[in-house]
Structures are given as structure tokens and as C-alpha cells.
Structure 1
Amino acid sequence: MQRRFLSAAVFAALATTTPVSAKDVLSGRVETHIGRIELQGGYPSASSVKKIYDEMDFQRASQAYIWATPIVALEAIRRANKRDWGVDYNEVGLVDGYTTPAVIALTGNNTTIYAAVFADLQRDGPVVIDSPLGVYGVIDDFWQRPVVEVGPFGPDKGKGGKFLLLPPGYTGTVPDGYLTAQSKTNQVIFIGRAFVKDGDIKSAVNTLTGIKAYPLSKAGNPPETRVVRAGERPLNSVAPRGFEYWQFLADVLDRETVDERDRFFHAMLKPLGIEKGKPFKPDARQKKILTDAAQVGFLMAQTISMAPRLDNASSYPGTHWEWVLTLDPTQETANYSQLDERTDYTFEAITVAEGMVKQIVGAGSQYMSAARDKDGAWLQGEKNYTLHVPANVPAKEFWAVTVYDVLTRSMVKTDTMTAGVSSQDKLKLNADGSADIHFGPKSPRGGGNWVKTIPGRGWFAYFRWYGPTEHFFDKSWTLPDIERRG
């Protein structure tokens, strides 16, 4: 009698405290979010075991897609530099003019001159990057964490210098005379830019051609650094969609260090065939799961980036303008590593620097984005909009607004080959000094200050302040929403 009483008690407990109830056990099935799971005395059946593992792997792959966003983005750029422009490690890829929409790159812009250098510290050991006076930028590791800044916020104090990049765990001799920094990854990227003064593009380009990169082992007789002037040659540096995304990831992870914070993600990818030190040869089951997860992962990353639910996303409360950077450059907080914050930025942009978030009056740059109009609707290429930019924009250097395609996150490409306007242009101004910037498939009446958009394609805008002044930081000057007209 006591045994029967205990069994009944245990049975009642099962019914009230476990996800699989006594009723489920008796019926031989349980209804779940992923469908019906068949049970055999409380155990999942053989077919259900397969179903559960498939779902587990799919969920893990979807989250791993988000986690991998920054490193796959840089791997895509590295490959594009090699494939489209013929630029290899320790070489300078230079856009020798304002970037045009022919260059498909995450939120690149057409108001500054850019150069990029990739280095492989595992292959070459310590690498020297000699940056001349007038170059501003950052050297990031392959998870897009700053290794060292270059320019006013860096140890060179804007005067240029020889930066010595040490590989992870390096314990060798470090010679004097260098600005030394150690990377957490084997590969690094240096993004440098030069500002155009008084329309002198040539001088800005010439400044960037002075960048040099070579292994420390050759510092006694440095080889000449090859500078590739891209001109107007096209480039597609955006990470691929679908299964190819995982091919990029498997390759770059195999060549990189394993960060302590990322070990669980490596464990989750192992059953899907992505494991450091082993070839990536997924079977049909793994390939299907990865392909499906890439589609969902992309949509998740896009949602995090374009509709962030982060507390610090809103830049002008009451409007739809958001901070482009919601992350700390270290990607860390006291209690967690910033996953959504990192995805919010690296899904749509590349490289992170302290100078992009530091609030220093008259120096650095600040960025805001908007993907919705005043009414909260997504910005659409077939509709017409206007952004009213009040007079006296708080930017010591200049300001710019640029339009990006929602899928490529690159400058919108139309027959005008113009994706933005800036205060460096000959803008049509209102009597009070303000400017109205128009967006749409057709030029507004009277023309002027217009960016053409593509019907059927969503878009978003970046507004950039170069050398933001005190009125930017105290918000005594604010930017209104983009409004639909007509």
C-alpha cells in the first residue's frame, strides 16, 4: 500500500513538475514547438532523437551565424581585396578617389579616401605598419576589436609612426623605436583614411600611398610595399549568403586562435563539421541544416541591426535615428560579452575604434542611422522622402548623409552613381541656411540635394559628423526624422 502511495505521489509530481507529463508518457507523445515528439516509456523514439538533434544543430547554427558576423565580414573583405584588386597581405589597397557605388562594401562612404592593409602574424611573425603623418584609422583584430588606433587617438598622437604588431602569445624580443601592440588574433586589418582639404583629393591619396607594411624580420632592409590603386574598379566585399557563409567561417576559424570567450561556440559548431584543425566536409544532413540556418541567421542578424532592442540604441529620443555604435570597442561589459551589440554594428559596418565613440569636442567622428520614416515605416526605394537638415550642423570639419541598400548594406547603386550628399558639395540651401535632402526614384521639382533610390528595394541612411562640436553632444542641435512626401 505504501509503495502504491509513493508511486502515485511520484506520478503526480511528474505531472506537475516536469516538461513531459505523466499523461504524455502514457500517450506516447508530446507536442512541442518543433512538432510532435514520439515517446517510448518517456524516452524519445529513434526518429524523435534524430529530430531533436537536427533541431539542436539548427538552433546552434543560427546563433553561431550571429556570433560569426564580425570575423566572416573581415574574411570576405580580405578575399575580395585579393580576388578583385589583387591585393595580398602586407600590401596597400587604395581607393584613389572618392568611393563610388561600384565598390560593394559595408557602409562605405564617398566623402573620405580609404586604404586597407591586411597582415598575417602567424605567417610572418611581428609585422611593422609604418603610417605617415595625416593618416587616421585603426588596426583591428579579426573579431573587429581595436589592437591600436592610428592618428590623434593613437599613441602616434596624429604624427604618424611605426607600429609593431605582435602575434598572440608572442614572447620574443621587442626592439625599441616602435609603437608596439599585441593582437589577440593571427590576422589584423588596418583601415586608414585621409581627409580631403579644400577639394585636394590628390594630396589625400598621396598621403595614403606612404603607408608601408613588412615583417619585422625584414626591418633591416624593408621591401618596397606594393600599393594597388583601385581606381574605379569594382569590388564586392560583402559576406556571401547561404552555405558559402560557413565555408568562409570554417576557413578563417581554422587559421585563427580560439578565444576563451568563444569556446562554447566552437563546441556547438563541431557536430556540424566545423572544427579547427580538421577539413570542412559536411555530409548532406549537416549541409542542409547549415544552409537553412544561414537564411534564418541572416534575418536574425538583420533584425538585430535594423530594429535593435538595445536600451542604448536611440540617439534622438522621439525620432527614429539610432546610434550606429551601441557596443564598447572591447566588446565586453562587466558581466557579459556583447553579442547583440556587436552584431548590431558589424552586420552593417566594419572596424571599430575608440575615436568613433569617444565624446571629444571637435575631434573624431560620430554616426547615426535611420531605417524608418517619421511614421515608423521602413524606408522604401519607390517612395519619396525629405530630410530637413537644420542650419549650423555641429561639425567642425563637415557632415554627410549617405544612402545604403538594405540587403548589401552598401551604397545604393543607380545610374547616377551618387549615393549621398555632404556639406562639401554645392548644396542648395534655404534662406535660413538649412538644407532639404531629397530621396526617391525621381528628382524633385527644382532639383538639387537629391539621392536616387531603387523601387522595390528598402534603404537606410547614415548621417556622419566629422569633428562634432559641443552642440552635437549636448543635443541643443537635433536632427529630425526623414519624412515621406507625396
Structure 2
Amino acid sequence: MASSSDHYQELANLEMDGGYPTADTTRTLDEELYFQRAVQVYLWALPAINMYAMKKGLGELSGYGHDVMSVTEKRLKPNTLITTPNSDVIYGLTFADLSKTGPLVIDAPPMLQALIDDFWHRPLTGPEIDGVQYLGDIGLPGPDKGAGGKYLIVPEGYEGEIDSDEYFVFTCRTNGVFIFVRGFFSSVDDLSPGVKAVEGIGIHPLGQEPAPITFNPISDTPANALFPADGGYFDMLDEFIQSERIDRDDAYMHGVLAALGIRKGHTFAPTDRQKELLDLAGRTGWKMAKNVAANYASDEKATWWEDRQWVAHVKTEKDDFMHTLLDEEWRSRETGHTDVTAKVHMFVNHYSISTGMVSAIVGLGAKYGDAYKDSNGEFLRGDNTYTINMPADPPAGLFWSLTIYDAETAAGVDAPGQTYSSLNSMDGLEENADGSTTIVVGPQRPEGTANWLRTVPGRGFFSLFRFYGPTQRFFDRQYKPGDFVRTS
């Protein structure tokens, strides 16, 4: 098999006749350009197709529309294939379509924590109040600050009357609206407070009487809400583009998309050879994205701490956790340019974004960190056994958790006999004499081990810590989780 350098040399050395390409050169370069454009489109469109795949996958279970919500009433289990879900809260997920409903009203009950994104995974733009610009947040991190209130979602360019005194108004750039609700509980033996919080929300079109939402339980029903890792990705992308309004952001990449044959109002009809190239590009793009994520700790300013493998979703300086270097659309706060590596890492393995997820306000939202490698810089593998130490008093006002995810699917590790692929501070974890908590992660429980997460031999995995309601100790950099240390 020719090396990659040979391939590049062959391209560079293709024959030109008097400044014009030969027939063979034209064919080779045309196919190469189509393939390269398709790979870049795969990476660029991950935020949208991650979202659209969730809509389709959960819609097959619960149905579609603003008045349907999928609820993980027994917490989210590994049988739900979705990127890095949280098994330690109750989820409610609704996918609305403004082209069918018009402006939507959300009645937020007190103490709700929710967010609203458009279908390119951009947080909806809300009001600016007392110098604070709200982006995507409802409830505790939103403008109602947990008191409850009425929200109005309008499409960009909406010219109807809006009562800004009655509603917190948010603008959406797409037809699709992702409404994502989290419900919290204080005991793993009683999930009802979390379910009640999620099912307290109301959603209805503006000008219509509120109608009951259908809350469909999905915890025990297998679901596949993952995006394709092959040529099927481009079929899904075309379906998405046809369902949406024309997006005005990133005109160049939309032009690249059009060069592949995907345009609003046009039939996507690739030739047989183009279908082959699209399949190769889809498989290549997925692997490129996974490679970016697996090695993201090597990217500039990607890790939380210099001597740890934990990476941040939105980059920060090592000596300043109070400010993020990227905004809610993964653009540099200095230049406004997209950090394409950070964005690929986010949306190949994760979903949802709002200011509350990246804020540097003590007690607000959450802080997250991913680990793909152990303390020696080797990938985490299900055949090995590791320990990880969480020092005493983790900086979480609500709770903290550690979850393990399959390296391929980014869904929870589905190990025999393990209901959830996570441990949290409500689980009655055994502490060490100094107050720290040691968790063992591996295929077999070592004798005498209390805190254990089971892995699957032959499968890679990665991990995510969550600190909900981060305390001052986190922002002051007084707390540092341990790395995964291989013991066998």
C-alpha cells in the first residue's frame, strides 16, 4: 500500500501539458477535489448533523413536534446511543419546528434548568439585561434566575408584535429549535423531583391556548440518536438542508456544500462514482474527527491543568479559569475566528451549548472535563484497570460525577450488569481517610473495591467529570482531579 506521502507526491506530480491538465490529470484532480470538499463538509457540519440525528433517533421513539418530549425518567442508560449523555440527572428533550408552529411560548416553572439551541447548535440570542447578554439559557442560569417566567422564541426576521414586558424574547436562526431540560434529584433512590421538574415545563404556539405536552419515557427503550460515520451522513445533511431556511452564516462553506450537490430547493443526485467518494469521505471524516478528539490534549490551551490529561470544552488560560478563550460558537474572543479543532472535538463527542455551560460565575451551570488518555499519555482501554483519585471536597455545590463513554459511539459504556456508566456524589461513595475518593475503572472489580466502574475488554473508552454548581475553589484553581493511573 502506498504511503500517504506517496499519494501527495502523485498529486503534485500529475502531468500538465503546456499548462493544461491531461485527461487523466483532470479526472484525478476532479475526484480528489470532490473527496476533499466532502471531508471538510463532514467536519464542518458536525454540529448540525449531531443535532438532526438526535431529532430523528428520538423522534422514532417519541414522535415529533413541540408538544412531545422524550424523558429519561429512570436516568439515561447505555441503551440510548447519544453523545456523552449525563446519567446523573433527568433529561427532557424536545425538537420543535418554527416553520410549523410560528413563534413558541415556553412557560418555565421555578427552579428549572434548561437551554435552547438552534439546529446548527448555536444558542438562541436572548435579551440583554443589566449588561448581561443571555444566550440559550432558561431558568436558573437564564434571565428569570430560577424564579420562573414566560419565554418567547421567534424566528430571525420576525416582524410581528412582541410584548417584551411579558416575555423573555429569544431569536432563532433556524426553523429547528432544540429545547433541552435537566431535572435534578438529591437521592438516587427517589428520582421523582427531577422528573417533576422536567415535566413542569409548558410549550405552545403564541396565540394558542396551552395544551398538555406528551412526556414519553425512554429510559428502558433502546434508541440510536447517532449521526452516520459513512456516506449516509451526506444524505442526512441534504435532508436537513431541505428542511431548513437558508442559513446566512459561513457563506464559503455553504458554497462548498453546494459544490457537492447539496443545495436548498435542489435534488441531491450524486453519480455512482460520487456516491463512492462520499462514502469514503464520510468514513475518513469520522475518523479524522475521532482522531482530533482522542489527541485533543495536545492542542494549544486545551487542557485544564498543565500536568493533567483533562481537557476543557471551551479553552481557558491555565492561570485564569474566570474567562474562556472561546465564545459559545467556538470563536476566538480575540479574533472572532472559529477554532475548528475545538469545535470538531465538541460536536463529534458532545452536544448542546449555552452560556451556562461555559460561564465563569460561581455556582452557575457546570464545569466539564474529558480524559482520553491515562497519566502516561496512553489511550484508555477497557482491557486495563485504572484508579482515579478525586481529592476531598470536590468543587460542586450541587453534585459531581464521573462517567465513562465508549470511544467509538461516545455513548455510555454498555458493560454487563452495569445499569449506569457513571458514579456520582449521591451514590454513597466510600471515601479515604483524608476525604478523597478513589474510583477503580476496569473490566473486573478488584477484591475489596467499593467504588468501581466496569469497562468492556476490546473497547476503548474516555471519561468526563462534571461539577454542577461549581464553587469558588474551582475558579481559584485550588482543586485538581487526578489522572487515570493504570494499575494492570
TM over 0.5: yes
Corresponding residue for 1:48?
25
Corresponding residue for 2:477?
475
Q: CA deviation at 1:484?
A: 0.2
Q: CA deviation at 1:270?
A: 2.2
Checking the alignment, whether the CA contact within 8 Å between 2:83 and 2:409 is kept in structure 1 is yes
Q: How does 1:253-272 map to 2 (within 5 A)?
A: 253-272=241-260
Q: Distance in 1 between matches of 2:156 and 2:352?
A: 19
**Counterparts in 2 of 1:69 and 1:433: CA distance versus 1, 3 Å:** same
Checking the alignment, whether the CA contact within 8 Å between 2:314 and 2:358 is kept in structure 1 is yes
Of the candidates 186, 189, 194, which is equivalent to residue 183 of structure 2? 194
Q: How does 1:178-217 map to 2 (within 5 A)?
A: 178-199=167-188, 200-217=190-207
2:91 aligned counterpart, secondary structure: strand
1:37 aligned counterpart, secondary structure: coil
Q: Distance in 2 between matches of 1:378 and 1:45?
A: 46
More deviation, 426-435/319-328: 319-328
Q: Distance in 2 between matches of 1:331 and 1:375?
A: 29
**Counterparts in 2 of 1:155 and 1:318: CA distance versus 1, 3 Å:** same
Q: CA deviation at 1:189?
A: 0.2
Q: CA deviation at 1:350?
A: 0.7
Is residue 37 of structure 2 the alignment partner of residue 60 of structure 1?
Answer: yes
Q: Distance in 2 between matches of 1:373 and 1:198?
A: 31
Q: Distance in 2 between matches of 1:210 and 1:187?
A: 22
Q: How does 1:417-428 map to 2 (within 5 A)?
A: 417-428=419-430
Q: Distance in 1 between matches of 2:197 and 2:401?
A: 22
1:75 aligned counterpart, secondary structure: helix
Checking the alignment, whether the CA contact within 8 Å between 2:113 and 2:183 is kept in structure 1 is yes
2:249 aligned counterpart, secondary structure: helix
Q: Distance in 2 between matches of 1:360 and 1:284?
A: 53
1:378 aligned counterpart, secondary structure: coil
Checking the alignment, whether the CA contact within 8 Å between 2:76 and 2:420 is kept in structure 1 is no
Q: Which deviations, in whole Å up to 9, do the C-alpha atoms of 1:436-472 show, x marking residues without a partner? A: 1111111111131111111111100001111111111
Is residue 100 of structure 2 the alignment partner of residue 123 of structure 1?
Answer: yes
2:376 aligned counterpart, secondary structure: coil
Corresponding residue for 2:304?
315
Q: AA paired with 1:485?
A: T
Q: Which deviations, in whole Å up to 9, do the C-alpha atoms of 1:57-93 show, x marking residues without a partner? A: 1111111101000000010000011112334343221
Q: AA paired with 2:487?
A: R
Corresponding residue for 2:329?
330
Corresponding residue for 1:174?
162
Q: AA paired with 1:185?
A: T
Q: Distance in 2 between matches of 1:113 and 1:139?
A: 17
Q: Distance in 2 between matches of 1:254 and 1:263?
A: 17
2:226 aligned counterpart, secondary structure: coil
Q: Which deviations, in whole Å up to 9, do the C-alpha atoms of 1:212-263 show, x marking residues without a partner? A: 2221142xx2232222122411221111221111111111112223333322
Corresponding residue for 1:5?
none
Structure 1 unaligned spans of 5+: 1-29
Q: Distance in 2 between matches of 1:97 and 1:159?
A: 27
Corresponding residue for 1:76?
53
Corresponding residue for 1:101?
78
Q: CA deviation at 1:36?
A: 4.5
The aligned length equals 455
Corresponding residue for 2:319?
none
Checking the alignment, whether the CA contact within 8 Å between 2:362 and 2:470 is kept in structure 1 is yes
Q: CA deviation at 1:32?
A: 3.3
1:433 aligned counterpart, secondary structure: coil
Corresponding residue for 2:268?
280
More deviation, 315-324/372-381: 315-324
TM-score by length of 2: 0.89
Is residue 229 of structure 2 the alignment partner of residue 241 of structure 1?
Answer: yes
Q: Distance in 1 between matches of 2:67 and 2:76?
A: 22
Q: Distance in 1 between matches of 2:64 and 2:73?
A: 14
Q: Distance in 1 between matches of 2:212 and 2:365?
A: 31
Checking the alignment, whether the CA contact within 8 Å between 1:57 and 1:268 is kept in structure 2 is no
Q: CA deviation at 1:289?
A: 1.2
Q: CA deviation at 1:367?
A: 0.4
Of the candidates 262, 283, 301, which is equivalent to residue 289 of structure 2? 301
More deviation, 47-56/126-135: 126-135
1:301 aligned counterpart, secondary structure: helix
Q: Distance in 2 between matches of 1:478 and 1:388?
A: 10
Identity %: 34
Is residue 114 of structure 2 the alignment partner of residue 137 of structure 1?
Answer: yes
More deviation, 154-163/183-192: 154-163
Q: CA deviation at 1:403?
A: 0.2
Q: Distance in 2 between matches of 1:257 and 1:325?
A: 28
Of the candidates 143, 149, 161, which is equivalent to residue 137 of structure 2? 149
Checking the alignment, whether the CA contact within 8 Å between 2:118 and 2:178 is kept in structure 1 is yes
Checking the alignment, whether the CA contact within 8 Å between 2:93 and 2:179 is kept in structure 1 is yes
TM-score by length of 1: 0.90
Q: Distance in 2 between matches of 1:234 and 1:325?
A: 31
Q: CA deviation at 1:31?
A: 8.2
Is residue 353 of structure 2 the alignment partner of residue 352 of structure 1?
Answer: yes
Structure 2 unaligned spans of 5+: 1-6, 125-135, 316-325
Q: Distance in 2 between matches of 1:172 and 1:194?
A: 33
Corresponding residue for 1:434?
436
1:62 aligned counterpart, secondary structure: helix
Q: Distance in 1 between matches of 2:256 and 2:219?
A: 43
2:283 aligned counterpart, secondary structure: helix
Q: Which has the larger radius of gyration?
A: 1
Corresponding residue for 2:218?
230
Q: Distance in 2 between matches of 1:100 and 1:353?
A: 24
Q: Distance in 1 between matches of 2:267 and 2:143?
A: 41
Q: Distance in 1 between matches of 2:211 and 2:433?
A: 57
Corresponding residue for 1:363?
364
Q: AA paired with 1:196?
A: F
Q: CA deviation at 1:305?
A: 2.1
Corresponding residue for 1:450?
452
Q: AA paired with 2:426?
A: Q
Q: AA paired with 1:325?
A: V
Q: AA paired with 1:329?
A: E
Q: Which deviations, in whole Å up to 9, do the C-alpha atoms of 1:332-389 show, x marking residues without a partner? A: 3334134322212111111101111111222321001101001000001101110011
More deviation, 30-39/436-445: 30-39
Q: AA paired with 1:178?
A: Y
More deviation, 424-433/251-260: 251-260
Q: CA deviation at 1:161?
A: 1.9
Q: Distance in 1 between matches of 2:407 and 2:375?
A: 18
Q: Distance in 2 between matches of 1:434 and 1:236?
A: 37
